[in-house]
Amino acid sequence: MIGRRRRGIAFWLLLLAWPGFVVVARAAPRTIAVSPDNTDIGFRLYLFGFVPLDGHFTRFVGSLTVDPADSGHCSVTVRVDTASLVMPNKEALKIALGADFLDAVDFPTLAYDGACRAIQGAPPRLEGVLVMRGRTGPLAFSLQPGAAAFVVSAVLHRAAWGMGAHPLLAGDTIRLRVTTRLLPSAREAAH
């Protein structure tokens, strides 16, 4: 009995020492605070269909839970202060925050809650619910998994969210992109 046990232990030790044999431990899901320190929540629309106009938000809170071993498993929750929008043009910013678009006075918060969904034969998607301008509806993001950042992008149709003003000027689509850094920056790593 003891001889078998020693041979069994010796077998496993030999196998572990064998070149090329790797034991991979499954990483546990990790929850990251989503904040302006590690995340960019931005968008782009095209004026007259071809002139890009970008904006991003500077005040928001949330959390992101990711499984480093499986990009198809994640969850996210984010609350954005609508009035924290920054755009390069002051007139465009005034219009974007006004009643015809984001209506920051009556709807001071944007909210998103979602989870990743693995799709057979396709990249996983982040599917969830957006609350904006007093409306609630589904919004799916394409997921671009990576070790350094969690990047999602989506196309939002303005008219579906009650922002149909100035269709020739601003078009109907807004391209959303959210990037959350998963690895600490050089400054954070030094502390």
What pLDDT band is residue 17 in, cutting at 50, 70 and 90? very low
User: For position 14, what pLDDT does the model report?
Assistant: 44
Q: Given strand 173-181, what is the order of strands in its sheet?
A: 30-34, 60-66, 74-81, 109-119, 122-132, 135-144, 149-157, 173-181, 39-47, 51-57, 85-86
Secondary structure (3-state) at 2: helix
- Tell me, what DSSP letter sits at residue 31? E
CB 162, CB 135: distance < 8 Å:
yes
pLDDT digits (tens, 9 = 90+) for 105-162: 999 999 999 999 888 888 889 999 999 999 999 999 999 877 789 999 999 999 999 9
CB 141, CB 129: distance < 8 Å:
no
Give the residue with greater pLDDT, 117 vs 58: 58
| CA triple 9-15-18, angle to 5 deg | 140
Is it the case that residue 168 has pLDDT exceeding 60? yes
Structure tokens at 102: 């984001």
Half-sphere exposure in the Cβ direction for 27 (13 Å, CA): 12
Query: Long-range contacts for 99-107 (Cβ within 8 Å, ≥24 apart)?
Result: 100/163, 100/165, 100/166, 101/158, 101/163, 101/165, 102/132, 102/133, 102/163, 103/133, 106/134, 107/82, 107/132, 107/133, 107/134
Model confidence, pTM: 0.80
User: For position 164, what pLDDT does the model report?
Assistant: 84
Q: Mean pLDDT of all residues in the chain?
A: 85
Go through the domains of the chain in sequence order and give each one's CATH number.
27-190 (2.40.128.110)
pLDDT digits (tens, 9 = 90+) for 64-115: 999 877 777 899 999 999 999 999 999 999 999 999 999 999 999 999 999 9
Region label for 49, one of left (φ > 0), alpha (ψ between -120 and 50) or beta (otherwise): left
Percent of the chain exceeding pLDDT 70 equals 82
